[in-house]
């Protein structure tokens, strides 16, 4: 059973269930997914993934579920929470590729950002994205994230060099 912590119109966010470990392991071994994340360099089997899930499940990381059928389709989480300066980072992935481009990423980010602003009293949420990841950049802009800079030539993948784009979001930017 999944627990609906935050619910939108097409998805809900639920605490991570370690019984889903094989799904997460499959996603983190899929280069089409991980080439967009720093995770492409990791070697992960189910044992390592289970340890990771156990650790991160206590820290504002959630599974993204299709509200229509409860299917787990990806994950979204807050990182580097700094309650002194009220800031954090956010990360998202949709592991089930059949769900890409259907608005789930946008809604999942919206739900967690709203939660961070309203319940964790966060003021500024930042994220990083590789410059070739146009779908992600479009998704982040739809949520309200603004480009604040770039780290030049900071990622090399498939023999090409790219910038890492930095974006951030304040409560009033949230669409």
Ligand X SMILES: CC(C)(COP(=O)(O)OP(=O)(O)OC[C@H]1O[C@@H](n2cnc3c(N)ncnc32)[C@H](O)[C@@H]1OP(=O)(O)O)[C@@H](O)C(=O)NCCC(=O)NCCS
Distances (CA, A) of 68 to 8, 27, 72: 11, 21, 11
Least Å distance, CB 61 to ligand X, is 14
Cβ proximity to ligand X: between 5 and 142 the closer is 142
Select the residue interacting with ligand X from 12, 24, 28, 104 (CB under 6 A): 104
Instruction: Count CB atoms within 10 A of the CB of residue 101.
Output: 12
Options 8-16, 20-28, 99-107, 164-172: segment touching ligand X (CB under 6 A): 99-107
Q: Which of 11, 16, 37, 113 binds ligand X (CB under 6 A)?
A: 37
**136 lies in the binding site for ligand X (CB under 6 A):** yes
Q: Which long-range contacts (CB under 8 A, 24 or more apart) does 49-53 make?
A: 49/21, 49/24, 49/25, 50/18, 50/21, 53/16, 53/18, 53/20, 53/21, 53/24
Under rule CB under 6 A, residue 150 binds ligand X: no
Least separation in angstroms between residue 93's CB and ligand X is 4
Establish if 33 lies at the interface with ligand X (CB under 6 A). Answer: yes
Among 50, 86, 114, 135, binds ligand X (CB under 6 A): 135
φ, ψ (nearest 5 deg) of residue 172:
-70, -15
Measured distance CA(129)–CA(149) in Å, rounded = 11
User: Using the rule CB under 6 A, is 125 a contact of ligand X?
Assistant: no
Q: Give the separation between CA 156 and CA 40, rounded to whole angstroms.
A: 12
* Chain residues that interact with ligand X, rule: CB under 6 A: 33, 36-37, 74, 92-94, 100-106, 129, 133-136, 138-139
């Amino acid at each position: 059973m999944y627990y609906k912590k935050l619910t939108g119109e097409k998805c809900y966010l639920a605490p991570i269930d370690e019984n889903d470990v094989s799904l997460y392991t499959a996603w983190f071994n899929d280069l089409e997914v991980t080439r967009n994340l720093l995770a492409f360099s990791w070697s992960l089997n189910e044992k390592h993934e289970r340890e990771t899930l156990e650790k991160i499940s206590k820290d504002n990381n959630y599974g993204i579920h299709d509200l229509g059928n409860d299917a787990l389709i990806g994950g979204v989480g807050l990182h580097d929470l700094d309650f002194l300066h009220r800031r954090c980072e956010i990360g998202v992935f949709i592991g089930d590729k059949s769900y890409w481009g259907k608005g789930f990423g946008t809604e999942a980010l919206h739900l967690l950002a709203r939660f961070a602003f309203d319940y964790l009293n966060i003021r500024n949420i930042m994220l990083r994205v590789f410059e070739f990841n146009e779908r992600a950049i479009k998704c982040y802009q739809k949520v309200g994230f603004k480009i604040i800079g770039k780290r030049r030539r900071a990622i090399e993948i498939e023999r090409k060099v790219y910038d890492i784009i930095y974006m951030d979001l304040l409560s009033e930017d949230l669409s």
